Structure 1
Amino acid sequence: MSPRRSDPRTGPALVDIAARLLADEGPQALSARRLATEAGSSTMAVYTNFGGMSGLVREMVYEGFARLQDHFLRVAETADPVCDMVLLGRAYRHNALTNPHLYAVMFGGASLGGFSLGAEDRQYGRYTLGTVVGCATRCLTAGRFAVGDAELIAHQLWTAVHGLVTLELGEYLIEPCDADRVFEAQLVALMVGAGDTLTAATRSVAASRPRLDTEIRA
Structure 2
Amino acid sequence: MREKIVGEATKLLAVGGRDAVSTRAVATAAGTQAPTIYRLFGDKDGLLAALLDHGFTTYLEAKPPVDPDADPLADLRDGWDLHLDFGLTNPALFALMYGEPRSSPRPAAAEAGIAILRDRVRALAAAGRLAVSEDLAVQMIHAAGSGLVLAMLAIPADQRDPLLSDAMFSALVAAITTDDITPPLDGPVPAANALRAQLSDLNALTPGERHVLDEWLTRITTQ
For this structure pair, what is the TM-score category when the shorter chain's length is used for normalisation?
Answer: 0.5 to 0.7
AA at the equivalent of 2:142 = W
Alignment of 1:105-184 (within 5 A): 105-108=96-99, 119-121=104-106, 125-146=110-131, 148-171=132-155, 178-184=160-166
SS at match of 1:73: coil
Runs of 4+ in 1 over 4 A off after TM superposition: 121-124, 172-175
Question: How far 1:179 moved relative to its partner?
Answer: 4.0
Counting matched residue pairs gives: 180
TM-score (norm 2): 0.67
Which residue pairs with 2:175 in the alignment? 193
Q: Does 1:41 align with 2:23?
A: no
TM-score (norm 1): 0.68
Which residue pairs with 1:23 in the alignment? 17
Q: Deviations over 1:188-213 (max 9, x none)?
A: 22112212438xxxxxxxxxxxxxxx
AA at the equivalent of 2:167 = A
User: Take 2:12 and 2:23, find their aligned partners in 1: how far apart are those partners?
Assistant: 10
Decide whether aligned partners of structure 1 residues 22 and 60 sit closer, same or farther in structure 2, where only a CA change above 3 A counts: farther
Decide whether aligned partners of structure 1 residues 133 and 158 sit closer, same or farther in structure 2, where only a CA change above 3 A counts: same
Unaligned ranges ≥5, structure 2:
181-223
Decide whether aligned partners of structure 1 residues 123 and 88 sit closer, same or farther in structure 2, where only a CA change above 3 A counts: same
Decide whether aligned partners of structure 1 residues 79 and 73 sit closer, same or farther in structure 2, where only a CA change above 3 A counts: closer
Question: How far 1:122 moved relative to its partner?
Answer: 7.6
Q: CA RMSD in A?
A: 3.2
AA at the equivalent of 2:120 = C
AA at the equivalent of 1:42 = T
Indicate the structure (1 or 2) with the bigger Cα radius of gyration: 2
Identity value in percent = 22
Alignment of 1:201-216 (within 5 A): none
